[in-house]
Structure 1
Amino acid sequence: MADIQIVQEHNLSPERARAAAQQVADKVAAEFGMQWRWEGDVLRFERSGVEGALTLGAQRAALQIRLGMLMSAFRPAIEAKVTDKMRRIFAAA
């Protein structure tokens, strides 16, 4: 299993941070075919071979992704895309 951990700092209110996280979830779900659900301030997502969580804090969003054996081959591409999406969305929000 391959793990990806990304932390994105932000200066957003809790409501705006949640809206930004929702944008990340919507884009990633559409691109990678994932299902997601909110559990408090944690956005959990999964699909075959991938599971993870985006945890919202007061000034940061922490993303953890666990890739299964087959998906681990795509780790660099997945990490680059998700890092870019988080940076753009949280900075723009």
Structure 2
Amino acid sequence: MSRIDIRHAHSMPKAQARKAIDEIAGKLHERFQVDCGWDGDVLNFSRSGIDGHIVLGERELHVKAKLGFLAAMFKDPIESEILRVLKEKF
């Protein structure tokens, strides 16, 4: 099993950061067909072979994901897309 663990600083108000995370979730759904849903300040996402979350902190986002065997083959493109969108949005 492969893992993604990304910490990304931000300086946005929480409401604005949450909106940006929603946009990221939309891109994840569009590109990788993941289902997403909020639980407080945590956006959970999953699909077959992928399970993770984005924690919205006051000054930092923390993205963690576990990738199953088949999804692990796509770790690099998934991680690259997350990093690209984080840089774009934050």
Which range is displaced more, 49-58 or 69-78? 69-78
Query: Deviation at 1:82?
Result: 1.1
Give a deviation string over 1:44-80, Cα, whole Å, max 9, x none: 0100000100000001111001100111111111111
1:71 equivalent in structure 2: 71
> Gaps (5+ residues) in structure 2?
none
- The yes-or-no answer on 1:6 pairing with 2:6 is yes
Q: Distance in 1 between matches of 2:77 and 2:28?
A: 13
CA RMSD of aligned residues (A): 0.7
Aligned sequence identity (%): 32
1:85 is aligned to 2:88: no
Q: Distance in 2 between matches of 1:6 and 1:88?
A: 15
Give matches, 1:1-93, under 5 Å: 1-90=1-90
1:74-93 deviations in whole A, cap 9, x for unaligned? Answer: 11111111111111112xxx
Q: Which amino acid aligns with 1:28?
A: L
Dislocated runs of 4+, deviation >3 Å: none
**Cα distance in 1 between the residues matched to 2:17 and 2:53:** 15
**What is the CA distance between 1:7 and its match in structure 2?**
1.1
Aligned length: 90
Q: Hey, what's the Cα distance between the residues in 2 that align with 1:25 and 1:6?
A: 15
SS in structure 1 at match of 2:69: coil
Distance 1:85 1:33 in 2: 16
